[in-house]
Amino acid sequence: MTPKFGVTAIGNAIVDILAPATEEFIAGQVQFGMRPNSMALITAERANELYSLIGPAIEASGGSAGNTMACFASFGGNGAYIGKVANDKFGDVFAHDTRAIGVHFESPPLVGGKPTAQCIILVTPDAHRTMNTYLGASTQINEDDVKEDLIANAQVTYLEGYLFDEPKAKAAFFRAADLVKKHNRKLSLTLSDPFCVVRYRDEFKSLVENHVDILFANEEELKELTQISNTDEAIKSIRGVCDIIVVTLGDKGSAIITPDKTIRVAPIMPKQLVDTTGAGDAYAAGFLFGLTEGKDLAECGRLGSLAASEVISHMGPRPLVSLKTLL
Amino acid sequence: MTPKFGVTAIGNAIVDILAPATEEFIAGQVQFGMRPNSMALITAERANELYSLIGPAIEASGGSAGNTMACFASFGGNGAYIGKVANDKFGDVFAHDTRAIGVHFESPPLVGGKPTAQCIILVTPDAHRTMNTYLGASTQINEDDVKEDLIANAQVTYLEGYLFDEPKAKAAFFRAADLVKKHNRKLSLTLSDPFCVVRYRDEFKSLVENHVDILFANEEELKELTQISNTDEAIKSIRGVCDIIVVTLGDKGSAIITPDKTIRVAPIMPKQLVDTTGAGDAYAAGFLFGLTEGKDLAECGRLGSLAASEVISHMGPRPLVSLKTLL
């Protein structure tokens, strides 16, 4: 019997605050820990300070795996999400947006603790995004939130590397990996961010070698994981470590690496390039939708490119049109 | 001496919740009071119910006059805004977005009362918007919020017709009109919405005849005000009632009507038409920016078209790029 869910994802439940910014502004914030084109973790105080410095913004539900599930559902996939919001306005927004697109989401909100996580995302004129995350309530996700039936009834369980940043979330992560094994399902991991890989390289390596069936990484993350600076060499070194390794290559498309072959996937150019926030998340959604629908790998890659193309054509990390209608 | 502010605006301070929707969905909601392509006032309960029915959304600061001031500041204008938010998350968002773009905003938030106003905006594939407003804290704006110096030191005081929907806000409106007269400044009014005109036709007519120097209306609002269904006839009937009457005509551009002439202004087509929310607000901003900078009326109209063109090219009612750089 086909499991009820194509994908169950676990991630940090975050509302994004997206604002245009200049490269000069970002350069001036590096001394305070900002990481151009990447993600930095920040405190509540720093979040308030940074918010007071940025220009007008828009708010949109985000979070890496949350974005992936929104795209997955937008393709018509049946998915579930596990993550922790607070019982506050942004928590309501995240829960609404997740459920409204048809993703099963039942994780109870945190009461009386930290507020819902937020990510201040600065988008430069070249459409690149620089992320600053206050994890708030999202770190209070725990093993109890990882309901066995959600994992048992999913073809693929998808985890974001960002979960490693907090002990409780990491415990939830490992519980999910154990349940995947118990129920003989597939485990998928995205490496999330090059700095995240640096923080947890050995653990990620062990995970990838021993547990992960489908790995997503971009070029920088792959180089950090393998510690090989040449992309082709890095790909050669990782081939066969998992069944499927997908390396996204920005405007050069992507490469799907199996034990015995490499499939190159062309990018799909958007009508206009506005904001790359969520591009990798959307790609993973398209790929996993194809995979759970029994498509061949080249088609999975094409669906990934299609989803990414929609998401980068406007501000915000989730699709504004039904991805199903783009098929 | 030139006053410190080009424009001081008073309006309902609202955070928008924008979601794509089908025409069928909207048609199905008309029985609950929804007004296709227009604005309906809703209760807190109805707002919650409607929110549970709509798809994934994005949040952005809005409010008619608030949008106008954001665009005015984006052109480089020095402006002030008077409006009431609550001390909650959406209140923080509205205050941030208003101040971050350089608009003077000091109205104290409401404590312990209703939440910040929100408007659930449904955007159909033809880019039209259907608005559903829960006024919340915004109705608690009062005469004390209308600081005399903000009116005395502004070339133009700009009021939105929506203020008439609540007695306290209406009192604030009339106090502003009195102060404009006292300090010999200009008063500008936007009629806001055809249903708003129907609700307060006689009062608006009296205001326009006796107090307003610069009037903004779209075709439907003009027809409702004059009760003449032919646009040319309606224009003829209103000519000279105010010094400047600007009628926006959607994709046909706009017409500027003075006692002795009519200036036709061509529309500026956006790269892509996505969401018309805020088009009229942006037009008023460009027009008033030109006027307060001493431009001729045709140029004022062109600036209005330019601002509207940017705002309708993406989801959300406020510019995502600096309007100054578009000049």
- Between residues B146 and A170, the one the model is more confident about: B146
Q: What tokens appear for B239 in the block?
A: 């000519």
Q: How far is B89 from chain A (nearest CA, A)?
A: 7
Asked if B78 reaches chain A (Cβ–Cβ under 8 Å), the answer is no
Q: Say how far apart CA B82 and CA B158 lie, in whole Å.
A: 10
Q: How far apart are CA A170 and CA A159, in angstroms?
A: 10
Residue A121 has pLDDT above 70, yes or no: yes
Residue B39 lies in a domain: no
* Strands in B138-293 per DSSP E: 154-160, 186-190, 214-218, 244-248, 254-257, 262-265
How confident is the model over A265-324, as pLDDT tens digits? 999 999 999 999 999 999 999 999 999 999 999 999 999 999 999 999 999 999 999 999
Query: Sign of the CA dihedral B56, B59, B63, B67?
Result: negative
A243 vs A229: CA distance, rounded Å: 23
Domain assignment of residue B22, yes or no: no
User: Can you tell me whether residue A185 is helix, strand or coil?
Assistant: coil
For residue A177, the enclosing domain spans 5-11+63-114+138-326
CA dihedral B192, B198, B199, B202 (to 10 degrees): 100
CA-based nearest residue to A102, from A133, A79, A120 = A79
The verdict on residue B33 lying in a domain is no
In a domain, A169, yes or no: yes
Confidence band of B81 (pLDDT split at 50, 70, 90): very high
Angle at B303 between CA B297 and CA B307, to 5 degrees: 145
Given a cut of 90, whether residue B238 has pLDDT beyond it is yes
With bands split at pLDDT 50, 70 and 90, how would you rate the model's confidence at B1? low
Q: Do A93 and B316 touch (CB under 8 A)?
A: no
| Predicted confidence (pLDDT) per residue in A257-276, tens digit | 999 999 999 999 999 999 99
A91-106 mean pLDDT: 98
Q: How confident is the model at residue B327 (pLDDT cuts 50, 70, 90)?
A: confident
pLDDT at A234 exceeding the cut of 90: yes
- Lowest-confidence pick of A61-70, A113-122, A136-145: A136-145
B318 CB within 8 Å of a chain A CB: yes
**Mean pLDDT in residue range B274-291:** 97
* Exposure string for A133-162, b = 16+ CB within 10 A, e = fewer: bbbbbbbbbbeebbeeebbbbbbbbbbbbb
Minimal C-alpha gap between B5 and chain A (Å): 20
User: Average model confidence (pLDDT) for chain B?
Assistant: 96
Q: Given CB atoms, is B79 within the 8 Å cutoff of chain A?
A: no
Q: What is the mean pLDDT of residues B45-50?
A: 98
Residue that is written with structure tokens 């405007």 in the block: A251
Pairing type for strands B117-123 and B129-134 reads antiparallel
- Whether B39 and B121 have beta carbons less than 8 Å apart is answered as no
Going by pLDDT thresholds of 50, 70 and 90, the confidence category of residue B2 is confident
Domain with B305 in it: what CATH number? 3.40.1190.20
Collect all residues of chain A within an 8 Å Cβ-Cβ radius of residue B105: none
Q: How far is CA B135 from CA A89, B86, B316, in A?
A: 17, 11, 19
| B88 close to A115: Cβ distance less than 8 angstroms | no
Q: How far is CA A73 from CA A108, A324, B22, B41, in A?
A: 21, 9, 18, 32
Instruction: Give per-residue pLDDT as tens, B158-186.
Output: 999 999 888 888 899 999 999 999 999 99
* Rounded-to-10 torsion of CA A15, A278, B318, A49: 50
Judged by a CB distance cut-off of 8 A, whether residue B120 touches chain A is no
Which residues in chain B touch residue A88, judged by CB atoms under 8 angstroms apart?
Answer: 89
Give per-residue pLDDT as tens, B183-230: 999 999 999 999 999 999 999 999 999 999 999 999 999 999 999 999
Task: Compute the CA torsion angle B94, B97, B103, B107 (nearest 10 deg).
Answer: 20
Look at chain A and report how many structural domains it folds into. 1
Using CA atoms, how far apart are residues A123 and A116, in angstroms rounded to an integer? 22
A103 touches chain B (CB under 8 A): no
pLDDT band at A2; cut points 50, 70, 90: confident
Instruction: Assess if residue A70 is contained within a domain.
Output: yes
The answer to the question of residue B304 being in a domain is yes
A279-292 vs A297-311: helix axis angle to the nearest 10? Answer: 150
Count of CB atoms situated within 10 Å of the CB of A16:
31
| List of chain B residues whose C-beta atoms are within 8 Å of the C-beta of residue A98 | 56
* Helical (H) or strand (E) element with A79: strand A79-82
Considering chain A, what is the average pLDDT of its residues? 96
Single-letter residue type at B79 = G
The closest of A222, A231, A258 to A242, measured between CA atoms, is A258
Does residue B48 form part of some domain? no
A316 touches B at CB < 8 Å = yes
Which amino acid is located at B258 in the chain?
T
Q: How close B126 comes to chain A (CA, Å)?
A: 13
User: Do the domain assignments include residue B214?
Assistant: yes
Closest CA to B60 of B15, B26, B28: B15
The tokens describing A275, both together, are: 């904001």
Q: How many CB atoms lie within 10 A of CB A294?
A: 9
Please name the residues in contact with B189: beta carbons below 8 A apart, sequence gap of 6 or more.
B158, B159, B160, B161, B204, B207, B208, B212, B214, B215, B216
Contact B59 A54 (CB under 8 A): no
Instruction: Enter the ipTM.
Output: 0.94
- pTM of this prediction exceeds 0.90: yes
Percentage helix, strand, coil for chain B under 3-state DSSP, each rounded to 5 = 45, 20, 35
Q: From CA A141, how far away is CA A110, in angstroms rounded?
A: 9
The span from the CA of A23 to the CA of A255, in Å, is 30
pLDDT of res. A1? 67
B interface test, pick of A89, A90, A92, A277 with most B CB neighbours within 10 Å: A89
User: Which residue has tokens 């995205």?
Assistant: A190
A245, pLDDT greater than 70: yes
- For A38-65, how does the pLDDT look when each residue is reduced to its tens digit (9 = 90+)? 999 999 999 999 999 999 999 999 999 9
Query: What pLDDT does residue B70 have?
Result: 98
Per residue in B91-115, pLDDT (tens digit) is 999 999 999 999 999 999 999 999 9
Are A194 and A38 in contact by the 8 Å Cβ rule? The answer is: yes
Residue B237 distance to chain A (closest CA, Å)? 41
